Amino acid sequence: MEAMLQPVADLFGAAWPAVWTLLKIVAIIAPLMICVAYLTLAERKVIGYMQVRIGPNRVGPMGLLQPIADGMKLLFKEIIIPSGANKGLFIIGPIMAIAPSLAAWAVVPFDDGLVLADVNAGLLFLLAITSMEVYGVIIAGWASNSKYPFLGSMRAAAQMVSYEVAMGFALICVLLISSSLNLTDIVMSQNEGRFADMGLGVLSWNWIPLFPMFVVYVISGIAETNRAPFDVVEGEAEVVAGHMVEYSGMTFALFFLAEYANMILVSILTSILFLGGWLSPVGFLPDGFHWLAVKTAFILLLFLWARATFPRFRYDHIMRLGWKVFIPVTLAWLLVVTVWMMSPLSIWS
C-alpha cells in the first residue's frame, strides 16, 4: 500500500499528509452519508412492517431510490430565513448540529488499526465532542425567534445535559475495567479472559459484567439523540417540530442528517464499548469489520423498534428517569465494579 502510493505522495510533496488525511476523512464521511440516507428508508420500512404496512415502495424497486428522491427534494427547496430571525445564528444552528456528529468519527476504530486518529484519550475526546451536540438545537431554537422552536430548544438543553451525566458514568465503568481511554485498547481488552480462551468471545465482552451500564447507555443514547420515546424536543403534538419549525430545504436536512449520524454513532459506540467491536463472537470465525457492522445494525434496529413500540414519555418522567433512576443506578454499579476489581474475585487482571 505504502509503496503503491509513493508516486502520488511525491506529486503532492509536503502537503501529502494533509491530502492523505483528507482522503481518509472522505472515505469515512461518504459511506456514513449513504448509511444515513438508507437508515431513513430502513426506519420507514421497519416501522411499516411492525405496523403491518408496506412502507415506501413507489420510487425505484422496493422503494430503494426513496432516500435519493428525498435528498433531491430537500436540495432544491428554498431556504426561508424568517424576517425576525437572527440571520447569522440561524445559519450557524444547523452547522453546529452536524459538525460535532461528524467530528466524533475521527476516533472511532473500524478494525484493528483502521482508525483515522488513534489517540490515547479517544474516549475523553468523544465525551467532549458529543457534549457539544446540544448547541445546534439551542442556537437554532433561539435564533428562530419563535415560540415553539424556543420551547423545543429549552427542552433539549435540559434533557441532553441530564442524560450526559448517566452516559458519562457508564463510560467511566468501561474505562475502569479496560484501564485505557483508547477505543482500540478497549475493544482488545474484551478479547481476554477465561471465555475468550475457550473460544467463546461473546461471553467475555463488557456487556455481561456491565449489563446495567449497557442498558443505561443504550437508553441514554436514545435520549441523547432525541429519538422516540424521548423525542419531546421535536414532539409534533406539543411543539410542532421544536427547533426545526422555521427551517426548510437543506438547513432542515442538516438537522435530519445530524440526528441519523448521531444514531449511527451511538450504535457503533455501544458495539465498541460493550459488544466487543469487530471481535468475532466465537473463536472459529475470523474477526473483522463485518462483525462491527452487524452489531451496529442490531443496535440501530433497537432504536427503530423502540420508536415503533413506545408512546412518547411525558417530560417530567424523562427528567425523573435521568436523574432519579439512571444516575443512582450508575453510581451504585460504579461502586460494585470498583470493589469487584479490587477483590480476589476480579476477572480483570
Partner 1 sequence: MEFKTFVFYFLAVIMVIAALRVITARNPVHAALFLVLTFFNAGGIWLLLQAEFLAVTLVMVYVGAVMVLFLFVVMMLDINLDRLREGFWSYLPVGALVGVLMLAEMAMVLGGSYFGLEAMPAPAEAAEGYSNTRELGRVLYTDYVYPFELASLVLLVAMIAAVTLTLRKRKGLKYIQPSEQVAVKREGRVELVKMQAEKED
**Nearest residue (CB) to partner 1, 27 versus 121:** 121
Per the CB < 8 A criterion, the answer to whether 222 and 262 are in contact is no
Per the CB < 8 A criterion, the answer to whether 315 and 194 are in contact is no
**Nearest residue (CB) to partner 1, 200 versus 329:** 329
- In the set 284, 316, 342, 344, which binds partner 1 (CB under 8 A)? 316
> Least Å distance between CB 121 and partner 1?
5
> Of 142-161, which residues contact partner 1 (CB under 8 A)?
142, 150, 153-154, 157-158, 160-161
- In the set 85, 98, 102, 134, which binds partner 1 (CB under 8 A)? 134
- In the set 21, 57, 120, 309, which binds partner 1 (CB under 8 A)? 120
**Nearest residue (CB) to partner 1, 51 versus 83:** 83
Is the peptide bond prior to 229 cis by the omega test (within 30 degrees of 0)? yes
Please, what sign has the CA dihedral across residues 107, 180, 278, 340? negative
Distances (CA, A) of 255 to 102, 228, 240, 287, 324: 12, 16, 15, 35, 30
What CA–CA distance (Å, rounded) separates 150 from 138? 8
* Displacement of CA 286 from its chain's centroid (Å): 26
What CA–CA distance (Å, rounded) separates 147 from 246? 11
Q: Which region, judged by CB under 8 A, interacts with partner 1, from 25-33, 188-196, 290-298, 316-324?
A: 316-324
Interface size with partner 1, residues (CB under 8 A): 27
What CA–CA distance (Å, rounded) separates 155 from 136? 13
What CA–CA distance (Å, rounded) separates 152 from 144? 11
Q: Which region, judged by CB under 8 A, interacts with partner 1, from 127-135, 206-214, 253-261, 276-284?
A: 127-135
> Of 77-116, which residues contact partner 1 (CB under 8 A)?
89
Query: In terms of Cα–Cα distance, which of 67, 69, 79, 66 is closest to 249?
Result: 79
- In the set 85, 138, 232, 261, which binds partner 1 (CB under 8 A)? 138
**Nearest residue (CB) to partner 1, 147 versus 194:** 147
Query: In terms of Cα–Cα distance, which of 183, 178, 177, 179 is closest to 127?
Result: 183
**Nearest residue (CB) to partner 1, 71 versus 149:** 149
**Nearest residue (CB) to partner 1, 69 versus 132:** 132
Distances (CA, A) of 249 to 40, 90, 94, 256, 344: 17, 13, 12, 11, 60
Q: Which region, judged by CB under 8 A, interacts with partner 1, from 21-29, 267-275, 277-285, 312-320?
A: 312-320
What is the residue whose three cell numbers read 443514547?
221
What CA–CA distance (Å, rounded) separates 27 from 22? 9
By the rule CB under 8 A, 329 interacts with partner 1: no
What CA–CA distance (Å, rounded) separates 18 from 12? 10
**Nearest residue (CB) to partner 1, 43 versus 224:** 224
> Least Å distance between CB 151 and partner 1?
11
**Nearest residue (CB) to partner 1, 26 versus 128:** 128
**Nearest residue (CB) to partner 1, 149 versus 201:** 149
Contacting positions for partner 1 (CB under 8 A): 89, 119-121, 124-125, 127-128, 131-132, 134-135, 138-139, 142, 150, 153-154, 157-158, 160-161, 164, 181, 316-317, 320
